[in-house]
Amino acid sequence: MITLELFLNAVVAGLMLGGFYAAVALGLSITFGQLDIVNIAHPTFVILGSFVAYILNQNFGIDPVLIGVVFMPVFYYIGTTLYRVYYVSFERTGQESLSGLAFFFGLMFIIEVLLILTFGVDYRLVSAPYIGKTMHIGFLDLPYRMLVPALAATVMTGAVVLYMSKTFMGKAILAVSQDRLALQLMGADPIKVKRIALGIAIATASLAGALLIIIQPVEPSVGRLYIGRIFAIVVLGGMGSISGTFVAAILIGVVESFIATFYGPSWAPAVGFGILLLTLAFRPQGIFGRA
Amino acid sequence: MFSFRKIRYGLWAIAGLIVISLAFTPVTSAQSKNLKIGFSMALTGPLAGAGKAALIAMQIWKDDINKKGGLLGRQVEFKFYDDATSPSKVPGIYSKLLNVDKVDLVVSSYGTNEISPAMPIVMRKGLVFMSLFGLAVNDKFNYDRYFQIMPAGPIPKDDWSRGFFKLAMAQNPKPKSVALLAEDADFALSAVAGARRHAKRLGMKIVYDKTFPFGSPDVTSVMRAIKAANADLVYVGSYPGGSVGLVKAAAELGLKAKMFGGGMVGLQFAGIQKNLGPMLNGIVNYDFWVPEPTLNFPGVKDFLKKYQAGAKGKGVDPFGHYLPPYAYAYLQILGDAVTAVGNLDQGKIAAYIHKTTFTTVVGKVKFAKNGEWANTRTLQVQFRDVAANNMGQFNKPGKRIVLYPNSVKSGSIKYPYKQ
């Protein structure tokens, strides 16, 4: 039976879940949406972020969100290095479409295997004082395990949107996705711009990974479960639109939560993808995409 | 002086000696050849945590048996491949084991989904198939040389949850309603199907009966819907990720059911137990071995000591209570049967296993006609007095009280369930 209490709680839970999805999809929105790089390994970098958070949380008791933020520069460096390899190996020779995809597939498996060899295959979890506790506002329940990741993801998305709209490099990243040649004619180096963009994309995986391990236990292959969902979010939001990705993530989160509460959890992913298909049918460029 | 003729004579002499030595030693050579046991195992993928732990246990058995002189006077050797928790890889692996590696015996990988695909190949060859934690696999095949080590019982799907409902119905007042939730994969669906039959048989009102997708990132909404259904009992079939999410969501939302748990995989593993800590208190869930005095079978502590030493630094469950003793035991049974029969005649080995009660590290094991345990020993344990951030507590008695079956009971239920 649908009650107001259940309805509002489902919406709130969906908002929090969607916020977390936004954190995971944000990096892919930059690489896939703006740079046209099909980084299928992005969820694996998220898992890498989870393991970094796990190690430091278990050994030093540091808060996972803080770990995620502190390690963003390290992940940024990994991202820029990755772009150098990608550019020299594929993009420069125009082989990025198929060979590049194979490269990221391979990278995904290599990172997974390295994680398995290093940490084994057991499920890993983190501890934080807020995990397992709930904020109650009237009849609304807001578990901190979901609330903290949602807030952190919103702040991170806001920061990226600000960076993209207010800084020269941010605007250059948007420009490189639209007209690389024009950007080059303006005296900017598209390779450097893309390198920085991929660095930012991978940096977001550091925090997204930390948020993931707050929500659920993680083992090296968990990232694969997210591939379909986050690609769908990026496409639904509109390729290259960070705000669109955020809105799409929230939409998918709310729909999944609503369906899980009132109809049956098994239908939740199907309905989410159904929305994607419907949107593409009527608005092929996605919610915020440009025609 | 250098002479090609001398070299040629020398080579002929050496070849002749080799031929003569081979001609006189075939029996000795054949006997000294290792006895190969082949299997696939989930060493990567979602079930790899259990698969790797099982492999450690199996290697302990191999070392133990080889120290005693091996099987049939031959040293035991394992031939195994990683099935990556992918059922589609299993048939190819067993075909290779049997046709290329020419193994003498086969045993199964871990888990229902990995055991079923091997069955047609093993059956075609007429081999004895000891299997590791498959739920009701033989219901589909009716293979008389199949033996399953998990103590589910002769009617596995129903026996799995029988204890949970027996405990519930022994309470006063009796529970009247139940919520059923299954993660969308084979084992969990089977476990909950059994629970559904019990609920109907007992005339309970099923107020919630849903499945949720495997690997769902968040199950808070699911738990909220279950809470709203206000059931007396909440029976769940789930895998580690889902189990952790549901336990946390139950604590966060203040689930008020009288009993909560049932078939949640993951709550048996030390790392997860440590992380969930006091959130586990009161949950009644299945298990197969816990360090309670009633389950102190001969040899199990020595085995666990070896396992825990072997598991260090391997990223697997450090205590090994759940699966490893059974991974040791299924080889123990196979080894005992081969030794008793005195050869590798698969029909005779199967007949011997059918008629014998085996003494193993998991206690006395007797198989029913369908290859499952003749009597269920699926434990229902209740978490009690669990403290935060203390893994060591789970390696001692008193934290997982055995409520069912009565033969190994170590305490009484705390009812109703409370967070």
d(CA B135, CA B151): 10
Does B220 contact A269 at a Cβ distance shorter than 8 Å? no
Percent above pLDDT 70 for chain B: 92
In angstroms, the separation between the Cα of residue B338 and the nearest Cα of chain A is: 33
Dihedral (Cα; B90, B95, B96, B98), 10-degree rounding: 120
Q: What angle do CA B61, B285, B260 make, to 5 degrees?
A: 165
pLDDT for B10:
57
ipTM of the complex: 0.86
Confidence of residue B25 (pLDDT cuts 50, 70, 90): very low
Dihedral (Cα; B12, B18, B19, B23), 10-degree rounding: 160
pLDDT in tens, A33-63: 888 888 999 999 999 999 999 999 999 999 9
pLDDT for B106:
98
pLDDT in tens, A67-116: 999 999 999 999 999 999 999 988 888 777 778 889 999 999 999 989 98
pLDDT for B31:
46
Cα B185 to Cα A197, A228, A247, B202, B239: the distances in Å are 39, 19, 31, 26, 9
Does A123 contact B269 at a Cβ distance shorter than 8 Å? yes
- Please check whether residue B311 is in contact with residue B53, taking contact to mean a CB–CB distance below 8 angstroms: yes
Average pLDDT, chain B: 91
Residues 118-157 of B with CB under 8 A from A: none
pTM: 0.85
Q: Which residues of A touch B222 (CB under 8 A)?
A: 260-261, 265
pLDDT for B151:
96
Confidence of residue B242 (pLDDT cuts 50, 70, 90): very high
- CB count within 10 Å of CB B390 equals 12
Does B253 contact A143 at a Cβ distance shorter than 8 Å? yes
pLDDT in tens, A105-164: 999 999 998 998 888 777 899 999 999 899 999 989 999 999 999 999 999 999 999 999
pLDDT in tens, B26-67: 333 344 589 999 999 998 877 888 899 999 999 999 999 999
Could you check whether B30-154+297-366 and B156-294+377-408 share the same CATH topology?
yes
Residue ranges and CATH numbers for the domains of chain A are 4-282 (1.10.3470)
Instruction: Record the tokens describing residue A177, joined without a space.
Output: 């996705």
Nearest to A6 among B51, B224, B271 (CB): B224
Q: Which residues of A touch B255 (CB under 8 A)?
A: none
- pLDDT at A280 > cutoff 70: yes
Whether domain B30-154+297-366 has CATH 3.90.1170.50: the reply is no
- pLDDT at B12 > cutoff 80: no
In chain B, where are the structural domains located? 30-154+297-366, 156-294+377-408
pLDDT in tens, B275-329: 999 999 999 999 999 999 999 999 999 999 999 999 998 888 999 999 999 999 9
The CATH superfamily assigned to B156-294+377-408 is Response regulator (3.40.50.2300)
For the segment B61-80, the average pLDDT, to the nearest whole number, is 97
Interface probe, candidates B47, B252, B283, chain A, greatest A C-beta count within 10 A:
B252
The least confident of A169-183, B180-194, B225-239, B342-356 is A169-183
The answer to whether B397 faces chain A, any CB pair under 8 Å, is no
The least confident of A236-245, B11-20, B59-68 is B11-20
- pLDDT at B119 > cutoff 60: yes
Confidence of residue B22 (pLDDT cuts 50, 70, 90): very low
User: If you write DSSP's letter for every residue of B25-45 in order, what string do you get?
Assistant: -HHHHHHHSPEEEEEEE--SS
Q: Which of B106, B129, B37, B107 is nearest to B75 (CA)?
A: B37
The least confident of B109-113, B129-133, B366-370 is B109-113
d(CA A44, CA A83): 16
For the segment A260-281, the average pLDDT, to the nearest whole number, is 86
